[in-house]
């Protein structure tokens, strides 16, 4: 039986990052930048007022701390103005936030320091040079790297790209993942199942998990366990995917058909991995492009756990994430748990925080049955139990892997 770490190493060795593409910055959020974005213009592009007030020469108001200074107001500049103005000594110009400063002005007196008179303003406090002024290039200088290669583009990076005038940016696209459910017993959710049939849970659940991991997902849906149909379905997706996931087909007659179908396309290693649930699974690289392909258990709970442990890290690695794994923390158990010796256990849990000391606490959820999907829906973490441990008592510390957080 292969260890989880060994299987994960095999999986991650197959990670291939899709070639970079240039997209509109509105479509770049969540993707890794694939270029050094160099600013062609300074930011700000001109000296501008940081507050509503009066543009002045700071030397003309330095005595305002001893007695009020009165200056004639010789005009007004609004944000967006393209009319150049020149300030003479002993004058003030009313300015809005973001307005360009007139020539010779080196400071802005906020409205609160004045009587706000429109013609002859009384200034009650001095301001030093550069006060309340956004200087040209103080944020980004021409030639500076605005967004670096390898940075995940979030809202701040999108804003900065817009600020330096970039409409498009080179990014690593989301890896394309195809999800296929295999089984004669499956029906789609828009049909009522007959005796012995069940709804196709896996293609929906795994597609959602792949999207959560950052993939571009195609949910192929249900394919009957016929060798020809399975082969044609997988083969059609190999040209359009960086990762293919089949749910169902690891055992019984269905497993025989799936193995035979995939053998025609490449080599898939059907093996047992020392984990619970989901020990029986398959992984290989198919087609001329050696596309990583997974065969997961038919049981939805097992399929989701195997996806979380093995498929999700591959999706993240294909995106270029430096650390493709979930965050791990130590937590104290609130209820005892048991696990199968010789296999790494992944148990559903609810992670809590002790407000008095900041200690993480974890409450195991449900029984250990691999078929119990409802408890996973309530879980926000997986409790990890090493291969040599069978029983853990209340108060003992365990390793916990975060799942997606609920708001």
Measure CA 183 to chain center: 33
Residues of the chain with pLDDT > 90, as a percent, come to 80
Written as one string, the DSSP assignment of 248-297 is S-SSHHHHHHHHHHHHTTEEEEEEEBSEES--EEEEEEETTTTEEEEEE-
The predicted structure's pLDDT at residue 122: 96
Return the structure tokens found at 366.
């449900």
- Whether residue 277 is preceded by a cis peptide bond, meaning omega within 30 degrees of 0, is yes
Look at the block and give the residue holding tokens 């007659």: 253
Most confident of 176-185, 188-197, 364-373: 176-185
Assess contact for 289 and 234: CB atoms under 8 A: no
Distances (CA, A) of 23 to 29, 153, 239: 10, 12, 22
Can you give the residue ranges of every domain in the chain?
4-18+174-319, 21-40+150-172, 48-134, 328-402
Same CATH topology for 48-134 and 328-402?
no
Task: Please determine, for residue 154, whether its predicted confidence score (pLDDT) is greater than 80.
Answer: yes
How much is the mean pLDDT over the chain?
92
13-17, 93-97, 175-179, 243-247: segment of lowest average pLDDT: 13-17
According to the model, what pLDDT value does residue 83 have?
84
What is the C-alpha separation between 254 and 250, in angstroms, rounded?
7
Q: Cis bond leading into 31, ω under 30°?
A: no
pLDDT band at 404 (very low <50, low <70, confident <90, very high): low
pLDDT at 216: 95
Greatest CA separation found in the chain? 96
- Span 261-280, average pLDDT: 93
Q: Which of the four CATH numbers 1.10.3720.10, 2.40.340.10, 3.30.360.10, 3.30.300.10 does domain 328-402 have?
A: 2.40.340.10
Of 54, 228, 226, 40, which is closest to residue 146 (Cα–Cα)? 40
- pLDDT single digits (tens) 313-347: 999 999 888 889 999 999 999 999 999 999 999 99
- Distance between terminal CA atoms of the chain? 39
Q: Which residue in the block uniquely carries the two structure tokens 């192929």?
A: 220
Q: Burial, 86: exposed, middle or buried (Cβ in 10 Å; 0-12, 13-18, 19+)?
A: exposed
Q: Which tens digit of pLDDT belongs to each residue from 227-269?
A: 999 999 999 999 999 999 999 978 788 888 899 999 989 989 9
In contact, 244 and 254? CB cutoff 8 Å: no
What does the alpha-carbon distance between residue 11 and residue 284 come to, in Å, rounded to a whole number?
8
CB 353 within 8 A of CB 381: no
**Does 371 have pLDDT greater than 70?**
no
Which pLDDT score, from 0 to 100, does residue 65 have? 82
Confidence of residue 156 (pLDDT cuts 50, 70, 90): very high
Q: Which of 405, 301, 406 is nearest to 347 (CA)?
A: 301
CATH number listed for the domain at residues 4-18+174-319: 3.40.980.10
How many whole angstroms from its chain centre is CA 180?
24
pLDDT given at position 407: 38
Q: Three-class SS of residue 112?
A: helix
The pLDDT tens digits for 19-70 are 899 999 999 999 999 999 999 888 999 999 999 999 999 999 999 989 999 9
Selecting from 3.40.50.10800, 3.40.1190.20, 3.40.50.720, 2.170.190.11, what CATH number does the domain 48-134 have? 2.170.190.11
CA torsion angle 26 32 36 37 (round to 10)? 10
Strands 107-110 and 53-56: antiparallel
Q: What number is the average pLDDT over the span 260-282? A: 93
The structure's pTM equals: 0.81
Closest CA to 106 of 56, 65, 60: 56
List Cβ neighbours of 370 (8 Å cut-off, separation of 6 or more). Answer: 276, 277, 278, 297, 299, 301, 302
């Amino acid at each position: 039986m292969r260890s989880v770490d060994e299987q994960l190493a095999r999986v991650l060795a197959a990670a291939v990052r899709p070639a970079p593409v240039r997209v509109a910055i509105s479509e770049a959020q969540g993707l890794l930048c694939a270029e050094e974005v160099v600013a062609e213009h300074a930011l700000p592009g001109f000296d501008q007022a940081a507050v509503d007030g009066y543009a002045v020469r700071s030397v003309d108001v330095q005595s305002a701390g001893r007695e009020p200074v009165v200056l004639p107001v010789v005009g007004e500049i609004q944000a967006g103005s393209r009319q150049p103005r020149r300030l003479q000594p002993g004058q003030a110009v009313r300015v809005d936030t973001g307005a360009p400063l007139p020539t010779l002005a080196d400071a802005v007196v906020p409205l609160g320091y004045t009587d706000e008179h429109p013609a002859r303003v009384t200034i009650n406090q001095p301001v030093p040079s550069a006060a309340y002024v956004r200087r040209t290039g103080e944020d980004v200088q021409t030639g500076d790297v605005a967004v670096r290669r390898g940075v995940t583009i979030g809202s701040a990076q999108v804003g900065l790209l817009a600020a330096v005038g970039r409409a498009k940016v080179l990014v690593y696209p989301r890896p394309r993942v195809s999800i296929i459910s295999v089984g004669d017993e499956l029906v789609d959710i828009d049909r009522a199942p007959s005796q012995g049939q069940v709804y196709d849970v896996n293609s929906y659940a795994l597609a959602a998990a792949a999207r959560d991991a950052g993939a571009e997902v195609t949910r192929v849906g249900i394919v009957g366990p016929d060798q020809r149909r399975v082969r044609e379905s997988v083969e059609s997706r190999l040209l359009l995917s960086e990762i293919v996931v089949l749910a169902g087909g690891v055992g019984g007659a269905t497993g025989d058909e799936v193995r035979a179908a995939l053998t025609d396309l490449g080599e898939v290693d059907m093996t047992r991995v020392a984990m619970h649930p989901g020990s029986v699974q398959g992984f290989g690289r198919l087609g001329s492009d050696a596309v990583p392909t997974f065969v997961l258990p038919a049981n939805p709970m097992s399929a989701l756990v195997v996806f979380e442990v093995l498929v999700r890290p591959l999706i993240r690695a294909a995106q270029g994430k430096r650390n493709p794994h979930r965050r791990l923390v130590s937590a104290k158990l609130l209820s005892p748990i048991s696990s199968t010796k010789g296999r790494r256990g992944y148990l559903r849990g609810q992670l809590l925080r002790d407000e008095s000391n900041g200690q993480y606490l974890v409450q195991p959820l449900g029984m250990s049955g691999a078929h119990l999907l409802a408890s996973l829906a309530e879980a926000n973490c997986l409790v990890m139990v090493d291969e040599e441990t069978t029983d853990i008592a209340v108060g003992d510390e365990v390793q916990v892997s975060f799942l997606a957080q609920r708001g």
